[in-house]
Structure 1
Amino acid sequence: MNIRRIAINTGGGDAPGLNAVIRAATLTALENGWEVLGIRRGYMGLLHDEVDGEPGMVPLSAERVRGITHLGGTILGTTARGNLFGLEVRQSDGTWGDRDPSADIMGRFAEMEIDALIAIGGDGSLKIAHRLFLKGLRVVGVPKTIDNDLSATDMTFGFQTAVDVATEAIGRLHSTAEAHQRVMVVQVMGRHTGWIALESGLAGGADVILIPEIPFSAERIAEKIMERDRARRRFSIVVIAEGAVPAGGLPSFVEGTGRYGGIGDRLAVELEALTGKDTRCLTLGHIQRGGSPVPYDRNLALRFGAAAVHAVERGNFGCMVGLQGNHVRSVPLGDAVTDIKRVPIDDEVVRTARRMGVSFGD
């Protein structure tokens, strides 16, 4: 296939490893003799000559991507706003409103003679990329999310770094919780899945792990805490995913937004009332997204970036690169964004935790 120029963009929430994908894709494409353009802030840089005081499109050279593999964030910037198909997009006057600019985007790709797009994103961003592919855009997707919730890939880059950050935080709480004989509730990210809570909770030695896939009862958690008290273990660590749900209840959202939040604080109040023990909540938040990616995420991101360019070489558009076993393969993009990958309630890690006496609040 005759490819001369490709573009790369990053969309949705940031994840450690984005810059590694950009570097690998850029260097691999340059080795092929292609020109590489970076689109700032998702698709904004394609629609506007200037974004946040900088050019909307930037040439990506070997010099520009030098030394970025270990950096968190993304040199192209990103946005979690601006769904191209009916949600909010930025208007020419700087305000946000409802409009579908997909036709404009298709026109801009044609005008700039961009032969293919490598779209790096999570489920929302890749759904947009798939819709653009159905409109005729040559697209290859790269899965990115700390939540590890994309189907068709065993792992997404950024997840292991988030687990590492959460595990260290949980580990640090043991000594202070024991010193004060407190219950510490640690709320971690993950949206509607419990992968981060499960992996970091087990690795960090949590006594209770609460995930969205297993509704919990505050009373059952209180029983676990008092059981530990009777065994003279007078502190407890509870790890809760932000999307965890009480049995018969609803997820907790930040008021006025669609963002998960507040479930840890709510549970801490309940547990203190049920147990009489001093209970504190720590919400880790965006610290899980920030900082340098761990080596696993760097290497996976580099493999994904190179594989995405290889897919473009082969003309394998409308696909997403994903990890299956030990190999990076291409899967249909439509299949990849159809289902969310949730924690199976009989997952081996869940079984391991239960066998060790960890409570899931059920």
Structure 2
Amino acid sequence: MRVGILTGGGDCPGLNAVIRAVSLALIEQHGAEILGIERGFLGLIEGRVRKLDAAGVRGIVNEGGTLLGTHNRADPFHYFGAGGSDVSARAIETLDRAGVDALIAIGGDGTMTIAERFARLGVPVVGVPKTIDNDVAHNERSFGFDSAVAVVAEALGRLETTARSHGRLMVVETMGRHAGWIALEGGLAGGADAMLLPERPFDPDVLAAHCFDRCSRQGFALVCVAEGAHELGGELVLQSGPGSVERLGGVGQRVTEGLQRRLGGDLEVRHTLLGHLQRGGNPTAFDRVLATRFGVQAARMVVAGEFGHMVALQEGQCRAVPLIDVAGRMRQIPESHELLIAAHDLGVCLG
């Protein structure tokens, strides 16, 4: 049996732990040959494949990033390098030429959508959910998320000492395009006084009044805002990337400027953008264990022939869910989620 592995989308703490678990489980238990596909789906398009052995993956469980590399703009069905053309046939040729019996695709919603399209074309594929945003549908928790939350919580804790010392209002912008899980859990863990989430448009006047009250009572305040948060009736804040690409980001600066206008010059408002710090570095122990569980489950699904499915954590157990139920969908924070209720009870402003 020859199994290919790729990591798509952005890098994430825990990817190497999945690669290790998949490889060792298949090699040790089934004598399989493992092929690593470099730079995600770009490797399929360009034919960049190399062999992985047990000795090469044993010591990577605690390493961040991905030893295979990744790429987030290499959709074979709409390839930017070919003017948006469909080059999926070229990717399938790479798999056939390498003699791959099964493909394990590790990635977020975009990767799962691509994997589902390949499954419809007859490619034997198993998906493994990866996203620090924790927003893959039908999956309770993704590896990398705990690591990102730990970074946000530590950042808020460090900023609180400065805010308290200088009597400032500090605004911290986190990742979270369409789901605010990082800002919610990171904000709770870091003691934020307000958390702005994509799922709940905020009123800037209500936010300013809340922050003024907190500063009056405790001498400082912390605001944790997800990059996809936006005002009531407003739009997402975008910034220009390379070429004509537009990316989310900048809402923290806008919130800072709005608060400064409303609160006047007596209270200083400062802004911090955490950016890629949240998904860099080594994974937490929780993420290493979860990634290992996902990798072992993916290996079992390959052996059992459960193709066209994704590994998912449901009710604390690893299960297989159809890729068609995941593709094009997203897991957002429900209005009735217990952490939102807890934040409300703690007096945290949620917009």
- Tell me which interval the TM-score lies in, with the shorter structure as reference length: over 0.9
Partner amino acid, structure 1, of 2:259 = L
Partner amino acid, structure 2, of 1:72 = G
Structure 1 or 2: larger helix share? 2
| TM alignment of 1:288-303, pairs within 5 A | 288-303=278-293
Tell me which residue corresponds to 1:53: none
1:246 aligns with 2:246: no
Partner amino acid, structure 2, of 1:35 = E
Q: Distance in 1 between the 2:156 and 2:239 partners?
A: 23
Tell me which residue corresponds to 1:22: 19
1:321 aligns with 2:311: yes
Shift of 1:46: 2.9
From 61, 83, 86, the equivalent of 2:75 is: 83
Q: 1:305 to 1:229 in 2, by over 3 A?
A: closer
Q: Distance in 2 between the 1:262 and 1:47 partners?
A: 34
Contact 2:45 2:88 (C-alpha < 8 Å) held by counterparts:
no
1:44 aligns with 2:22: no
Which range is displaced more, 106-115 or 184-193?
106-115
Q: Distance in 2 between the 1:140 and 1:228 partners?
A: 49
Q: Distance in 1 between the 2:9 and 2:215 partners?
A: 43
* SS of corresponding position for 1:197: helix
Shift of 1:87: 4.2
Partner amino acid, structure 2, of 1:242 = E
From 46, 64, 72, the equivalent of 1:72 is: 64
Shift of 1:64: 1.1
Shift of 1:325: 1.3
Shift of 1:338: 3.8
Shift of 1:250: 0.3
5+ residue gaps in structure 1? 50-55, 92-96
Q: Distance in 1 between the 2:22 and 2:311 partners?
A: 12
Q: State the Cα RMSD in Å.
A: 1.1
Q: Distance in 1 between the 2:326 and 2:84 partners?
A: 27
Tell me which residue corresponds to 1:265: 253
From 85, 93, 96, the equivalent of 1:110 is: 96
Shift of 1:24: 0.3
Q: Distance in 1 between the 2:6 and 2:19 partners?
A: 9
In percent, how many aligned pairs have the same letter?
A: 47
From 191, 196, 203, the equivalent of 1:210 is: 196
Q: Distance in 1 between the 2:325 and 2:246 partners?
A: 25
Q: Distance in 1 between the 2:78 and 2:259 partners?
A: 42
TM-score, normalised to structure 1's length? 0.93
Q: Distance in 1 between the 2:120 and 2:14 partners?
A: 28
Tell me which residue corresponds to 1:35: 33
Tell me which residue corresponds to 1:134: 120
Shift of 1:98: 2.1
Tell me the matched-pair count: 345
Tell me which residue corresponds to 1:8: 5
| TM alignment of 1:64-213, pairs within 5 A | 64-88=56-80, 90=81, 97-213=83-199
Contact 2:198 2:226 (C-alpha < 8 Å) held by counterparts:
yes
Partner amino acid, structure 2, of 1:274 = R
1:284 aligns with 2:274: yes
From 57, 62, 67, the equivalent of 2:54 is: 62
TM-score, normalised to structure 2's length? 0.96
* SS of corresponding position for 1:29: helix
Shift of 1:9: 0.3
Tell me which residue corresponds to 1:94: none
* SS of corresponding position for 1:24: helix
5+ residue gaps in structure 2? none
Q: Distance in 2 between the 1:80 and 1:73 partners?
A: 14
Shift of 1:151: 1.1
* SS of corresponding position for 1:267: helix
Shift of 1:180: 1.0
Q: Distance in 1 between the 2:44 and 2:89 partners?
A: 12
Shift of 1:113: 1.4
Partner amino acid, structure 2, of 1:272 = Q
